[in-house]
Structure 1
Amino acid sequence: MGDWVDVVLLDDDSELADRAIRQLRRGLAEHEIETRAVEATAPARSKGDVAAVNAVAIALGGAGGMVPVLITILRDWLGRRVAPQRVRMTIGDETIELEAASPQQQQQVLEAFLRRHEEG
């Protein structure tokens, strides 16, 4: 089995965050991309009240041809996020956090991040 990317949505509104993660899971299921629930906690540097955390793990194992599809799904999903939502993605020991980046910047960072872990 290959890597998993953990996608964590940090939001002060737990109901909105839960709905957003369910929306992401549906998009992934439509493309038969394997997911699993993950336990995640808000980072210590969270501002104000403890942020609600919703997360999903997405399989990258054997996904060589699936990485472009995953990039498209995540890019579209990220485009629907609103401030102050933050999205954190982790593969192994590497983590990126997307918050105030433009859609183009998010796409570039996301694509570079996932392609570094693509199985050749």
Structure 2
Amino acid sequence: MGRTEGDDARWVEFVVLTEDEDDADRADRLARQLRRELAEREFETRSVTAAAPGDTKGDVAVFGAIAVALVGAGGMIPTLIDVLRDWLGRRTGPDRICVRIGDDSVELDRPSFSEREELLQAFLAKHSDR
């Protein structure tokens, strides 16, 4: 992902990862749900085709992916983090999100979100200035 020609947006890719290799529908449903929630907060989103992240933990076989535009990112980052925290907080399973910009990524899950929140904020801020 990244900037597109003639576009002031930095596109951030979100890959929703599930542990159940037979449940592609669930991964897709979770990605669509996250996309709806981001759109409700007025983030521009689009579907993407993505390969499973190479640095994911465990044997992740199923995933769904979306992209989110960060325009003038500074003020959007706290809102984006709030949406992700809320969305992950409602998950009961071992679902995770890989946040990827170009070759750089960070992985989040419900148990680790609070301890990785500062890392996510720094990650998004670093890429919003490019």
Fold shared, TM-score > 0.5 on shorter chain:
yes
Match of 1:92 in 2: 102
**Count of aligned residue pairs for this structure pair:** 118
Determine the C-alpha separation between the residues in 1 that align with 2:81 and 2:34. 12
Name the aligned partner's letter for residue 40 of structure 1. Answer: A
User: Displacement of 1:8 after TM fit?
Assistant: 0.2
Determine the C-alpha separation between the residues in 1 that align with 2:119 and 2:125. 10
Match of 2:30 in 1: 20
Determine the C-alpha separation between the residues in 2 that align with 1:75 and 1:118. 20
Structure with the larger RCO, 1 or 2 (CA within 8 Å, 6+ apart): 1
Name the aligned partner's letter for residue 108 of structure 2. Answer: L
Deviations 1:59-105 (A, max 9, x none): 01223321111111111112223443232111123111224752311
Match of 2:4 in 1: none
Match of 1:118 in 2: 128
Counterpart secondary structure, 1:65: helix
C-alpha RMSD over aligned residues: 2.4
Match of 1:29 in 2: 39
* Unpaired runs of at least 5, structure 2: 1-7
Within 5 Å, give how 1:12-91 maps onto structure 2.
12=20, 13-43=23-53, 47=59, 51-91=61-101
TM-score normalised per structure 1: 0.80
